[in-house]
A and B are shown apart, each in its own frame.
Chain A
């Protein structure tokens, strides 16, 4: 049985259930790297150019940790997921970066997913990836269908039950999240940001559970139905150019319309798309008079500084409630 290594970083949080289904249908075994730890972070940082953003460094660390544990690595180049929208360059060039910086890595499977280039190109690329495991094209087709189905199920699960990707992937739907939610106060805080920073608890220092411990009801972008996201993005910033920014801008706008008490934006230092798009949201929050906390993290950010800012923010939101009511 061929072992496929999937790094627990970047697009893992969006597409893992689909990838898992796909490879398991092709009789392959899926190996996922363990949650981020210091060794991984350091090995990633040591390879990449200093200006590279944190999530890419972390992906490299995860990929390095998988060497020797699998026969091939799966790092797709997700170029475009819709008409006239693209992803950040670093996501498009991800397999190339990994190949250049980790010369000792096993084979990297890197299908280019580019819906702009048409159906044939997409099918061809997926078939090429599937062909590595199995030569029966019908079986590959079936695997793709199953993967699509599980992707939809995954997204529906998150928006219907209001859970985070981590819970949806691991299957424990209620536990920590719901028990902590909404006991002490009615404060509603939306935390928005890319899934690969929001749910990697090593790099964000457990931001979500920290907020919950302070008595906030936390809402994340994945809880918004997908159709609402696109509509909200268009209302705020016009035509979207970056696929994954919809999750941030659209969710932010959606939650602003739902009248949350505050918005926390978690972004990574040096993130190109965020640097342009979050401004729209900040502008809008200012218009509506909703508190907005921009947090920027990188490999040097400390837990203490984050906690201080969060506490100050939550205190401010609480006081506002008292004064306004």
Chain B
């Protein structure tokens, strides 16, 4: 059995860690290559023309995994409103048509998440004892938490570092180091070490960087390839980025705390209440709330990232423009036609606008 899965930011590090802990040999887990233009081209070629970008990217990534010899594929599944519900089914048919003899196992990401994760690990490991599975999963998750912790510091440092690109270089090294760590203690040590290194990066102490919140559809917000590294580019322009949506936060709440009755979005939903009072699928409701949240927190602007034709985000976009909170929104619609230079030009204009607004007391 050779297991493959679509590339999604740093998820591969967790998957690798879990597989190693469970004693899988190297060729039993196929790590999909990082996303490139080739992934996108493959996905676009074999997807329905009007499917959304996450569908195309994950399909491209799955095809690449199949080329490397994967025969069991993991894909997310959800109920309902958004297209995600049909990802696995459509993609399975497509891969079958392409002649890959693969079998899909699904990870439910909308309800019964923990049961579905348990079932998934059980299906893939056959007879591993439960405590061993749990400790392996926790080890994998701890790497996610460590990476997100480092990323938070990176987002701050990028904006004020004197030599641009230094923080990013350290972040890349950190990802590699954490990927190679074999023990939880080691992960902790590495985290501390790299945060220390980031704090030592020479920064401009007098700078008061612009602050921008990033939100939108989860896949395109978190996967840098899908948003053309917008956070790094904002950092180069001297803007501090804040993003609520991270993989570790999703894991923390969806897999554990939601079962204890906690809802990470309760506050955001409350802020969105005057405009939307019920779920519209995907992350639409949250997007409206987050715009209000960042406005209340005194941020200078927000970046809203959505795949082209994403239904929930279109609802959010329509509603967002009429909220009482006045806030510049940079709407990035990502699909296979996107070009980086176009985005950079718009981004520079956006940052100029924010600076102007700050100087003139936020009147425009």
Number of interface residues of A (CB under 8 A): 42
A-chain residues with CB within 8 Å of residue B311 when the two chains form the complex? 88-90, 272
Task: Give chain B nearest CB distance to A240 CB in angstroms.
Answer: 10
B284 pairs with A89, CB closer than 8 A: yes
Is A79 positioned at the interface, with any CB of B under 8 Å from its CB?
Answer: yes
Residues of B within 8 A of A87 (CB): 81
A280 to B92, CA, bound (A): 12
- Give complex CA distance A49, B314 in Å: 8
Residues in chain A near residue B312, CB distance under 8 A: 89, 93
Interface residues of A in 108-135 (CB under 8 A from B): 112, 114
Closest A residue by C-beta to B319: A100
Known: A100-B318, A100-B319, A103-B322. A92 touches B81 (CB 8 A): yes
Residues of A within 8 A of B333 (CB): 51
Judged by a CB distance under 8 angstroms, whether B50 is at the interface is: yes
Query: Closest B-chain residue to A96, C-beta based?
Result: B276
In the complex, the answer to whether B318 meets A270 with C-beta atoms within 8 Å is: no
Cβ contact within 8 Å between B322 and A101 = yes
The distance in angstroms between the C-alpha atoms of A100 and B321, with both chains bound, is: 8
Within 8 A of A (CB), among B283-331: 284, 308-312, 314-315, 317-319, 321-322
B90 contacts which chain A residues (CB < 8 A)?
276, 279-280
Complex-state Cα separation, A273 to B80, whole angstroms: 10
B291 CB to closest chain A CB, in angstroms? 12
Report the minimum CB–CB distance from A47 to chain B (whole Å): 8
Distance in Å: Cβ of B349 to nearest Cβ of chain A: 19
Contacts A49-B318, A96-B315, A97-B319; A77 near B80 (Cβ below 8 A): no
Is A290's beta carbon under 8 Å from chain B? Answer: no
- Judged by a CB distance under 8 angstroms, whether B133 is at the interface is no
CB distance from B319 to the nearest CB of A (A): 4
State the Cβ distance, B304 to closest chain A Cβ, in Å.
11
A273–B82 CA distance with the chains assembled, in angstroms: 8
**Cα A191 to Cα B55 with chains together (Å):** 28
B145 within 8 Å of A (CB atoms): no
Let me know if A304 is at the binding interface, CB within 8 A.
Answer: no
- Which residue of chain B is the closest to A278 with respect to CB atoms? B48
Which chain A residues in 267-303 approach chain B with CB under 8 Å?
A: 269-280, 283, 296
Quick check: B89 and A238 within 8 Å, CB to CB?
Answer: yes
A23 proximal to B (CB < 8 A): no
In the bound complex, how far is the Cα of B96 from the Cα of A112, in angstroms? 40
Chain B residues contacting A114 (CB-CB under 8 Å) are 278
Q: Shortest beta-carbon distance, B109 to chain A, in Å?
A: 14
Choose from A85, A86, A275 the contact partner of B48 (Cβ within 8 Å): A275
Contact between chains at B80 and A86 (CB < 8 Å)? yes
- B315's closest neighbor in chain A, by CB? A93
Any B CB within 8 A of the CB of A81: no
Query: B280 — which chain A residues lie within 8 A by C-beta?
Result: 89, 92-93, 96
| Docked-complex contact B79 and A84, CB < 8 angstroms | yes
Residue of A nearest to B317 (CB): A49
For the complex formed, measure the closest distance between the CB of A250 and the CB atoms of chain B, giving whole angstroms.
15
- CB nearest to B316 among chain A residues: A93
B279: A residues at CB distance < 8 A: 92
Q: Known contacts A52-B318, A86-B81, A283-B93; decide if A275 and B309 are in contact (CB<8 Å).
A: yes
For B52, list chain A residues within 8 Å (CB): 272, 275
Q: B46-88: contact bitstring with A at CB < 8 Å (1 yes, 0 no)?
A: 0011111000000000000000000000000001111101100
| Contact between chains at B309 and A51 (CB < 8 Å) | yes
Expressed in whole angstroms, the Cα–Cα distance for A114 and B81 within the complex equals: 12
A241 within 8 A of B: yes
Q: Is the CB of B318 within 8 A of A101?
A: yes
Question: Do residues A100 and B50 form an inter-chain contact, with CB atoms below 8 A?
Answer: no
Roughly how many angstroms separate A28 CA and B314 CA in the complex, as a whole number?
A: 34
Interface residue ranges of B244-286 to A (CB < 8 Å):
275-282, 284
Q: In the complex, which residues of chain B have a beta carbon less than 8 angstroms from the beta carbon of A99?
A: 275
Q: What are the residues of chain B within 8 A of A242 when measuring CB–CB?
A: 80
Cβ of A63 < 8 Å from any Cβ of B? no
| The one of A77, A84, A97, A271 that contacts B278, using a Cβ cutoff of 8 Å | A77
Given A112-B278, A277-B86, A283-B93, do A89 and B50 touch, yes or no (CB 8 Å)? Answer: no
Per the bound structure, the CA–CA distance linking A227 and B45 in Å amounts to: 37
A276-B275 contact, Cβ under 8 Å, with A87-B81, A90-B315: no
A71 and B5 alpha carbons, distance in the complex (Å): 55
- The answer to whether residues A79 and B278 also contact, given A84-B79, A272-B52, A276-B48 and a CB cut-off of 8 A, is yes
By beta carbon, the residue of chain B nearest A241 is B85
Instruction: Indicate if A237 sits at the interface (CB-CB under 8 A).
Output: yes
Q: Is residue A232 within 8 Å, beta carbon to beta carbon, of the partner chain?
A: no
Give CA–CA (A120, B87) in the complex, Å.
33
Instruction: Give the chain B neighbours of A30 by CB distance below 8 A.
Output: none
Question: In the complex the two chains form, is A97's CB within 8 Å of B318's CB?
Answer: yes
User: Which residues of chain B from 15 to 72 have any CB-CB distance to chain A below 8 Å in the complex?
Assistant: 48-52
- The answer to whether A86 and B318 have CB atoms under 8 Å apart is no
> Closest Cβ of chain B: how far from A244's Cβ, in Å?
12
Which residues on B sit within 8 Å (CB–CB) of A112?
278
Q: How far is the CA of A114 from the CA of B315 in the complex (A)?
A: 18
**CA A51 – CA B314 in complex, angstroms?**
7
CA distance A272 to B311 in the complex (A): 6
In Å, the complex CA distance between A142 and B275 comes to 33
Looking at B51, B83, B311, the one whose CB has the most chain A CB atoms below 10 A away is B311
A73: Cβ under 8 A from any B Cβ: no
CA distance A278 to B281 in the complex (A): 21
**Residues in A whose Cβ lies below 8 Å from that of B314:** 49, 51-53, 89-90
Most buried by B among A87, A97, A272: A272
A52 to B309, CA, bound (A): 8
Q: Which residues of chain B are within 8 angstroms of A278 by Cβ–Cβ distance?
A: 48
Whether A100 lies near B275 (C-beta < 8 A) is yes
Q: How far is the CB of B186 from chain A (nearest CB, A)?
A: 43
Given A53-B314, A93-B280, A275-B51, 7 other A-B contacts at CB below 8 A? A49-B317, A52-B318, A96-B319, A275-B48, A275-B83, A276-B51, A276-B90
5 interchain pairs (CB within 8 A)?
A: A49-B321, A89-B282, A269-B50, A275-B49, A283-B93
Query: What residues make up the interface of B, taking CB atoms closer than 8 Å to A?
Result: 48-52, 79-83, 85-86, 89-90, 93, 275-282, 284, 308-312, 314-315, 317-319, 321-322, 333
